[in-house]
Amino acid sequence: MQNRTEILLQAIEKRILILDGAMGTMIQRYKLTEEDFRTPELADHPKSLKGNNDLLSLSRPDIIRQIHREYLEAGADIIETNTFSGTAIAQADYELSHLAYAINYESAKLARAVADEFSEREPDKPRFVAGAIGPTNRTASLSPDVNDPGYRAITFDQLAEAYAEQVRGLLDGGVDLILVETIFDTLNAKAALYAIQDVYEERNIPLDPKEGGIPIMISGTITDASGRTLSGQTTEAFLISISHVPLLSVGLNCALGAKELRPYLKVLAQNAPFYVSAYPNAGLPNEFGAYDQGANEMADQVRDFLKEGMLNILGGCCGTTPEHISALAKMAAEFKPRKINEVFEEEGSNV
């Protein structure tokens, strides 16, 4: 019997796979109160917990389950776990670092159960779970204090330790992929990759998905029209920095809408020895920080990526909903996936 990695590798060769949309945007629709974020054990927790969306996997799993279901019904092949801020580092703001493993484990189990339900219902369209690993709220390359540029709020080792705990929880909960996303500081991402490699070695999981390993996806964030990450790297430099790991895919998400993302995606499509992913925001935010771009307008902008054969995985980030994912899924079905350049397969990457 084939394992899920083999099924995923076969699927990505045949078609453009659809990733889900924004979790936070969907959670906002529920107008939740402080009580929704509290489990019985946290009834007397001294800090406010409202806004700690990852915690909802423990306190309101029904909501997270429903959001996963809506994205799968919209046509998503891959759903992300509700763990963007699931490290002990990010949870420290709420004094909940001790719950980091449980948040990742329970989030992965929730997503796994819903994905399996859809896979059983439609065996010809298997669904997969990506363990979402966000950038944390600390940066290893930049000082948070303009008066002390040499200061760092976090070390590489602290990041790696927190990421390793998150990876263990996600794997124990049953994810099919690990997705390190919204990377604004490549040193943070390198700590995440180091942690993943460490945990894989500890568990005898091959690093290369072609050898049966749990595939790793990487997605960076170009923060503005300068074409650089927050820590100052161009798209090409970012690609070089993470190419030492046999990744399933490299891509870009967040910060920009589809139209603005296009030139940077082109760099990846032309140079990456891996599959390429993109999940842009629903346009740029308006003056109130909200996203106005509708599903059809976003799909029209993404069409150009697909015409040029730039993508293998497509989804949505901030402001996107099941309506956006449905429009993207229908459109992507008309196009063939990007082929990894033969030069990489034959000679190895020059990047």
pLDDT at 346 over 50: no
pLDDT digits (tens, 9 = 90+) for 315-336: 999 999 999 999 999 999 999 9
pLDDT at 146 over 70: no
Q: What residues contact residue 252 under an 8 Å CB cut-off, 6+ apart?
A: 219, 220, 221, 222, 235, 261, 264, 265, 268, 277, 278, 280
**Where residue 143 falls among pLDDT bands split at 50, 70, 90?**
low
pLDDT, position 103: 98
pLDDT, position 345: 44
| C-alpha Rg value of the chain to the nearest Å | 19
**Where residue 350 falls among pLDDT bands split at 50, 70, 90?**
very low
pLDDT at 7 over 60: yes
pLDDT, position 130: 98
pLDDT at 150 over 80: no
For the record, the structure tokens of 146 come out as 């303009």
Q: Other CB atoms closer than 10 Å to residue 286's CB: what's the count?
A: 11
- Ranges of H-type helices in 42-87: 56-59, 61-74
pLDDT at 140 over 80: no
% residues pLDDT > 90 (the chain): 82
pLDDT digits (tens, 9 = 90+) for 72-92: 999 999 999 999 999 999 999
CA nearest to 72, candidates 107, 105, 112: 112
Q: What residues contact residue 60 under an 8 Å CB cut-off, 6+ apart?
A: 32, 36, 37
pLDDT digits (tens, 9 = 90+) for 23-66: 999 999 999 999 999 999 999 999 999 999 999 999 999 999 99
Asked if residues 278 and 217 have their Cβ atoms less than 8 Å apart, the reply is: no
pLDDT, position 343: 40
For the record, the structure tokens of 184 come out as 């604004």
Give the residue numbers of the binding site for Zn(2+): 254, 317-318
The mean of the pLDDT values for the chain is 92
Give the residue numbers of the binding site: 254, 317-318
Q: Give me the mean pLDDT over the 285-312 stretch.
A: 91
Q: What residues contact residue 107 under an 8 Å CB cut-off, 6+ apart?
A: 54, 57, 64, 81, 82, 83, 86, 170, 173
Instruction: For residue 166, give Cα distances in angstroms to 63, 81, 87, 255, 326.
Output: 22, 12, 6, 24, 30
Q: Exposed/middle/buried for 307, CB within 10 Å: 0-12, 13-18, 19+?
A: exposed
CA nearest to 91, candidates 143, 165, 25: 165
Cα 147 from chain centre:
33
Per domain, the residue ranges of the chain are 4-347
Q: Give me the mean pLDDT over the 231-243 stretch.
A: 90
CA nearest to 57, candidates 33, 29, 27: 27
Rounded distance between C-alpha atoms, residue 80 and residue 19, angstroms: 8
Cα 343 from chain centre:
28
pLDDT digits (tens, 9 = 90+) for 106-119: 999 999 999 999 99
**Where residue 348 falls among pLDDT bands split at 50, 70, 90?**
very low
pTM: 0.94
Q: Give me the mean pLDDT over the 196-224 stretch.
A: 95
**Where residue 180 falls among pLDDT bands split at 50, 70, 90?**
very high
pLDDT digits (tens, 9 = 90+) for 125-137: 999 999 999 999 8
pLDDT, position 151: 67
For the record, the structure tokens of 163 come out as 């990421």
β pairing state of 177-183 and 216-220: parallel
Rounded distance between C-alpha atoms, residue 277 and residue 14, angstroms: 15
**Where residue 287 falls among pLDDT bands split at 50, 70, 90?**
confident
Asked if residues 169 and 86 have their Cβ atoms less than 8 Å apart, the reply is: yes
| CATH domain 4-347 topology | TIM Barrel (3.20.20)
pLDDT at 351 over 80: no
Q: Give me the mean pLDDT over the 216-226 stretch.
A: 89
Rounded distance between C-alpha atoms, residue 275 and residue 112, angstroms: 23
**Where residue 255 falls among pLDDT bands split at 50, 70, 90?**
confident
Task: Name the amino acid, one letter, at 200.
Answer: Y
- Ranges of H-type helices in 52-155: 56-59, 61-74, 88-91, 100-121
Beta bridge partners of 251: 219, 277
pLDDT, position 37: 98
β pairing state of 128-133 and 78-80: parallel
**Where residue 342 falls among pLDDT bands split at 50, 70, 90?**
very low
